[in-house]
Structure 1
Amino acid sequence: MSNKIGTLFGVSVGTGDPELITVKALRILQNTKIIAFPAGINGRLGVAQRIIESYLQPHQQILPLCFPYTFSEEMLNQAWHRVSLEVWEYLKNGEDVAFACEGDISFFSTFTYLALTVEKLYPDVKIERIAGVSSPMASASALGLPLTIQGEKLVVLPTVYSLKQFEEALDWGDTIVLMKVASVYDQVWQILAQRNLLDRAYVVEKATTDEEKVYHGLHDYPHLKLSYFSIVIVFVNRDNRK
């Protein structure tokens, strides 16, 4: 075992467009031998891997890590422990590992749980976090609208956990961003309809990717079948119609 412990880099790679990677993120990706990322499902490439694949070199080693899609705390904890051990096998021998993560590594990120678990198991490990573009900012750009103006209050909610908080936020927030909205979209639509806010609500699906879809105003979309990478933005007190 090397005396030197490698550094675990959390590298934000943006929301889909490879050009949204920062200069610093690209430098770390191209100068680190071990490149980790969440593995895709059913043999497909994961989102982060698709974003960075054109930047990687043949001599680099890829390390797909399997994370379960579940709400079971026990299963999640087991998965974090398992992947942390996988990453540690490289770190303990002095190898740096760059974990590529879609969006920003501090914003509802898989990397957060990996880093926390590695730090808990191996307190001497060095972790560096590289900031990047997150989906609310990318989605606002796709809409061609500012996310906030002057004193507007921004509220971000993981909707699948927070429908009640969503209703409360509509009473005091100015811009409401709803993450993880796909499974509860119909309920969100009903709340917006009751508040007469459908014309001030927008859906952006797979922002900045080749599959991006944008819905301006939701009157005609009560039952959208959305992918996991979809968000709703509501401008509660702003009329963006021209």
Structure 2
Amino acid sequence: MIKKGIGTLYGVSVGTGDPELITVKAQRILQETSVIAFPMGVSCKQGLAEKIIANWITPQQKKLPLNFPYLQDKQQLKQAWKEAAERVWEYLHQGINVAFACEGDVSLYSTFSYLAQTIRENHPQVTIQLIPGVCSPMATASVLGIPLTLGSQTLAIIPALYNVAELDQVLGWADVIVLLKVSSVYPQVWKKLEKLNLLDHVLIVERATQPEEKIYRNLTYHPNLNLSYFSLMIIYVRERQ
């Protein structure tokens, strides 16, 4: 009797919202893989990754929504990653490939990284392949129609939800700063930028490349924006060279 090998886990970057931003390789893997995993939406609603890939998968493929709670408690998160890894392993150990659809790019602050790490720790024999894609800083710059950086400009990308306290230090050396997940700390960031007279050097894009996309320029008169989770801020600290 021939024993089946272990399936491959693909981390497939699907971009920031526009389904046409998926790469040709990502599209091929999504269409060739029989099990498609993705983060479950809030309150069991359709999440962003599932929406993006809707045009590229068929009813014959198995959908595997995985629960990744939106919280910061490390123990609860580890438990969620463990449970998600166990559900994926149910297919991998049968020799079935699994493609995990990840919004943005799989290598930039992605949920997939924690899933892959958990699976590697428990099943080091699993082959994991990463498929790169369009990440939010690049998508946001394209929406704004501006270069993210030029010449010798230095760039800092900060997950603001966790590192807003480091902003003062980064403002001292970076020419361009991208703040991810800025919505929950926006009032604090706005006050810092007001003190530094930088509010007219700031741009925000909410839900870049999605139908609900919004753009905010010059935040001088916007101290209390009610932003969604998918909001990104670009701060041009110094003039382009």
1:29 partnered with 2:47: no
* Partner in structure 2 of residue 171 of structure 1: 172
Instruction: State the Cα distance separating 1:32 from its structure 2 match.
Output: 0.4
Measure the CA separation in 2 of the matches of 1:233 and 1:86: 38
Percent of pairs identical after alignment?
Answer: 52
Measure the CA separation in 2 of the matches of 1:185 and 1:226: 8
Measure the CA separation in 2 of the matches of 1:8 and 1:231: 29
1:186 partnered with 2:175: no
Q: Which amino acid aligns with 1:14?
A: G
| Structure 1 residue matching 2:46: 3-state secondary structure | coil
| Structure 1 residue matching 2:119: 3-state secondary structure | helix
Instruction: State the Cα distance separating 1:43 from its structure 2 match.
Output: 3.0
* Partner in structure 2 of residue 150 of structure 1: 151
Give the gaps of 5 or more residues in structure 1.
none
Measure the CA separation in 1 of the matches of 2:95 and 2:164: 45
Measure the CA separation in 1 of the matches of 2:78 and 2:163: 22
Measure the CA separation in 1 of the matches of 2:55 and 2:41: 17
Measure the CA separation in 2 of the matches of 1:184 and 1:81: 29
Cα-to-partner distance string for 1:98-148 (whole Å, 9 max, x where unaligned): 000000001110000000000001010000000000000001111111000
* Partner in structure 2 of residue 210 of structure 1: 211
- TM-score normalised over the length of structure 2: 0.97
Structure 1 segment 41-80 matched on structure 2, within 5 A: 41-80=42-81
Deviates more, 1:137-146 or 1:1-10: 1-10
Across the two proteins, how many residue pairs are aligned to each other?
Answer: 240
Instruction: State the Cα distance separating 1:2 from its structure 2 match.
Output: 4.6
Instruction: State the Cα distance separating 1:58 from its structure 2 match.
Output: 2.0
Q: Which amino acid aligns with 2:167?
A: F
RMSD: 1.3
- TM-score normalised over the length of structure 1: 0.97
* Partner in structure 2 of residue 160 of structure 1: 161
Q: Which amino acid aligns with 1:125?
A: V
Query: Are the aligned partners of 1:2 and 1:94 in contact in 2 as well (CA < 8 Å)?
Result: no
